[in-house]
Amino acid sequence: MSRIDLHVHTAYSDGDRSPSEVVALAKETNVTTLAITDHDITSGIAEANQAGHQREIEIIPGVEVSSRFQGKETHILGYFIDPSHALLQTRLSRLRATRDTRIHDMVMRLQRLGIPIRHEDVLATAGTGSIGRPHIAHVLLQQGFVQSVREAFERYLAEGAAAYVERDLPSAEDAIAWINEAGGVAVLAHPHTAHVTDSQLERLCRTLQAAGLRGIEAWHSSHSFQQTETYRALARKLNLIVTGGSDFHGRLKPDIQVGIGRGDLCVPQEIVEPLRKLAAPPASAPRG
């Protein structure tokens, strides 16, 4: 049975597989359409395109932009963005700069807590891509300060934990506008992480829809069947499209596989065409 997966991370953000490796894994689970959605960066798309071409997998250029809405970190997926859009790249590069500052400050905090990890080691783990807390977790684990990534987050890195530092983030409305300006389709990622009631989620979606949001991620490795049904119903009610994906991260989330999530993920193929349609400008639209 062929599948699609519209949410994966590569080593360009906090995944640990190269784009080609992620594409190879997608082939193994019969994925025919794959969206690359790294945090605040699009650098993995070119390599994924090449690998996708070789393996006959359609690659949708994507991004997962970190933002804040009503005080909470909110992730906005952008599909079919133009990676060569200069203003989008300027914006993403500024957004990554807030990651650099924050990770540096968190390493300083850890040092003050008596955990002598070095900033250089965290930078080396992140490589050239977008740095994040998982890279600190990896160094803590490697150097024996914690026994698992989970422990690293619980003790030091999660919101409210000992070494946590808040990050400067754009508003969700701005993130949506950036995606739209770059020709993309903006979708609310993993709505369960908002931790709100159904009626609050409806209000949240209506507000973001007015700012240009076009869809909701209904299928996700961490959504129950019931949650997926709830998000699909909300999307129908608000006339939003639905998307879905595994949110694959490699070893960071070892129980999640490309295409199949924790084994039972099944994102319907039919959702790709409505997404594609929204991305394509209407044939009669004036150009320029």
Residues 3, 4, 5, 14: which binds ligand AMP (CB under 6 A)?
A: 14
Residue 115, binding choice from Fe ion, Zn ion, ligand AMP, none, Cβ under 5 to 8 Å by partner class: none
Size of the site for ligand AMP (CB under 6 A): 11
Nearer to Zn ion by C-beta: 27 or 190?
190
> Where does this chain touch ligand AMP (CB under 6 A) — which range of 19-27, 147-155, 170-178, 185-193?
147-155
Nearer to ligand AMP by C-beta: 161 or 238?
161
To ligand AMP, the closest distance from the beta carbon of 163 in angstroms equals 12
Nearer to Zn ion by C-beta: 14 or 16?
14
Nearer to Fe ion by C-beta: 75 or 91?
75
To Zn ion, the closest distance from the beta carbon of 56 in angstroms equals 27
Nearer to ligand AMP by C-beta: 32 or 221?
221
- Rg of the chain (C-alpha set): 18
Residues 53, 112, 150, 237: which binds ligand AMP (CB under 6 A)?
A: 150
Residues 69, 145, 153, 156: which binds ligand AMP (CB under 6 A)?
A: 153
Largest CA distance in the chain: 63
To ligand AMP, the closest distance from the beta carbon of 84 in angstroms equals 24
Per-residue interface string for the shown chain with ligand AMP, residues 238-277, x marking contact by CB under 6 A:
-----------x--x-------------------------
Residues lying near Fe ion in the complex (CB under 5 A) are found at 64, 75, 189, 247
